[in-house]
């Protein structure tokens, strides 16, 4: 059948508006709106049948007159969105069950494929969406928009969904005894109470430590973006008693329901550093994308550490050098350390030692040394040095056959990610780069 013959079967189901006439044929002609397409079909049939063109005036039974409401819904959506800062948007529509059923009946009764052309929902999204974009000078994004305007035709509401915003940075932890994220008390589950009384384990605080890097960084970002909540994502983590020095550890803060998406990152960085008062320092701030979160969480960069160690017995310079030679470039087999076995599966992991050296105060014998280790991501450094009762093989203690105590540990470098984190694919288009 020709398009005009098919159109005759649709138009016969009056009262029907031009948009609902044109919609089943959206995939058979291009460059027109459905309303323009429907009107053209009416005119063409009128000419072919030598009949006057008489557009209907009654309310369309298919869309219930909704195709005449594009502009009104666009105004309502634009009004709601104008209260929020955003650059990209999308429009979605919740269609009434009756309109969905009417769509099926129209095609059925006209003898058309049930999936022919375009569905009402798609047309409503597009026609309202392009009007919203024009009113607010915004760009549509079908992948990951800043905001989504949800048009609920049944409840006559416009609901705004604000997608998360992201800030990338690096932190340096300059004081020991600060965890990366909040650490709820294991005894009271974070409530601060046990058996109706203040938990003795955490002194009723609910947390094992008063502050965390997360608490010193994330709240200021949430406030600056006027968001509901903020989640801290770090590229790995150091031990609570270890400092994070050097260039710092990459992180992303994810802010939910942000009403502001473009804070002054330089001012925000200065505010966080001021609040942290020398305990934590942030740098390299930039507005980021969702992809940056995935990159940070999946990062397997190598790390460099500096450990202050004490030997249970004096160690000769030759023995220490031999042990370091054996560890340099070695593959290390590590069972899950005793200290984290309560929260991690008991597995055997293999990790590489890329480099290891020692600084000592004299030519020996030595009771103390500063050990610098460059290792694969996930290598447990303390256990590499003290052996963890044989759960790490080989280890410095095992090779020396002398007890090794790690008195202090610092992370001095997180290597291998610099070029990736500067990649524009992970930064917002309006970001000027790390600040």
Q: Which residues are catalytic?
A: 239
Contact status, residue 187 vs residue 202, Cβ threshold 8 Å: yes
Helix (H/G/I), strand (E/B), else coil: 393:
strand
| Cα distance between residue 339 and residue 41, in whole Å | 76
Question: In this structure, is the dihedral angle defined by the CA atoms of residues 99, 103, 104 and 109, taken in order, positive or negative?
Answer: positive
DSSP string, 100-157: HHHHHHHHHHTT--TT-S--HHHHHHHHHHHHHHHHHT-EE-SSS-SEEEEEETTTTE
Task: Give 100's Cβ-side CA count (13 Å radius).
Answer: 8
The residue among 162, 147, 279, 150 whose CA lies nearest residue 229 is 162
Q: 343 CB contacts (<8 Å, ≥6 apart)?
A: none
Q: Where are the beta strands (DSSP E) in 154-257?
A: 157-162, 165-173, 193-194, 197-198, 229-234, 242-256
Contact status, residue 53 vs residue 45, Cβ threshold 8 Å: no
430: left (phi over 0), alpha (psi -120 to 50) or beta: alpha
Task: Give the residues across from 279 on adjacent strands.
Answer: none
Task: Give the residues across from 256 on adjacent strands.
Answer: 229
Query: CA of 138: how far to CAs of 30, 78, 131, 385, 428, in Å?
Result: 25, 10, 10, 56, 15
Contact status, residue 373 vs residue 304, Cβ threshold 8 Å: yes
Asked if the peptide bond before residue 345 counts as cis, ω within 30 degrees of 0, the response is: no
Contact status, residue 139 vs residue 106, Cβ threshold 8 Å: no
């Amino acid at each position: 059948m020709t398009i005009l013959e098919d159109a005759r079967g649709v138009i016969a189901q009056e009262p029907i508006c031009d948009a609902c006439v044109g919609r089943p044929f959206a995939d058979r002609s291009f460059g027109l709106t459905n309303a323009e397409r429907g009107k053209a079909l009416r005119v063409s049939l009128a000419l072919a049948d030598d009949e006057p063109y008489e557009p209907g005036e009654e309310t369309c039974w298919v869309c219930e007159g909704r195709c005449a409401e594009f502009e009104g819904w666009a105004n309502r959506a634009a009004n709601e969105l104008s209260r929020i800062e955003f650059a990209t948007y999308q429009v979605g529509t919740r269609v009434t069950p009756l309109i969905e059923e009417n769509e099926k009946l129209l095609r059925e009764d006209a003898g058309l494929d049930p999936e022919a052309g375009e569905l009402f929902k798609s047309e409503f999204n597009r026609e309202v969406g392009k009007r919203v974009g024009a009113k607010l000078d915004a760009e549509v994004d079908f992948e990951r928009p800043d905001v989504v305007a949800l048009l609920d035709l049944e409840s006559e509401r416009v609901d705004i969904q604000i997608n998360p915003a992201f800030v990338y940075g690096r932190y340096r932890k300059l004081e020991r005894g600060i965890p990366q994220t909040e650490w709820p008390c294991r005894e009271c589950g974070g409530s601060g109470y046990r058996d109706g009384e203040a938990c003795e384990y955490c002194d009723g605080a609910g947390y094992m430590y008063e502050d965390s890097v997360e608490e010193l960084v994330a709240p200021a970002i949430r406030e600056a973006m006027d968001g509901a909540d903020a989640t801290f994502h770090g590229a790995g983590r150091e031990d609570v008693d270890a400092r994070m020095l050097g260039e710092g550890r990459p992180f992303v803060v994810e802010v939910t329901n942000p009403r502001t998406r473009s804070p002054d990152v330089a001012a925000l960085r200065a505010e966080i550093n001021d609040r942290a008062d020398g305990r934590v320092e942030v740098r390299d701030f930039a507005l980021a994308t969702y992809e940056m979160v995935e990159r940070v969480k999946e990062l397997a960069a190598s790390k460099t550490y500096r450990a202050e160690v004490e030997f249970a017995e004096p160690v000769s310079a030759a023995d220490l050098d031999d042990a370091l030679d054996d560890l340099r470039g070695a593959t290390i087999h590590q069972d899950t350390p005793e200290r984290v076995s309560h929260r991690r599966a008991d597995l055997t992991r293999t990790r590489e030692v890329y480099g290891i050296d020692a600084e000592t105060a004299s030519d020996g014998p030595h009771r103390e040394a500063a050990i610098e280790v460059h290792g694969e991501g996930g290598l447990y450094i303390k256990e590499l040095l003290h052996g963890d009762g044989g759960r790490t093989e080989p280890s410095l203690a095992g090779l020396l056959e002398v007890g090794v105590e790690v008195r202090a540990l610092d992370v001095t470098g997180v290597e291998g990610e610099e070029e990736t984190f500067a990649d524009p694919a992970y930064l917002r288009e309006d970001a000027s780069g790390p600040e």
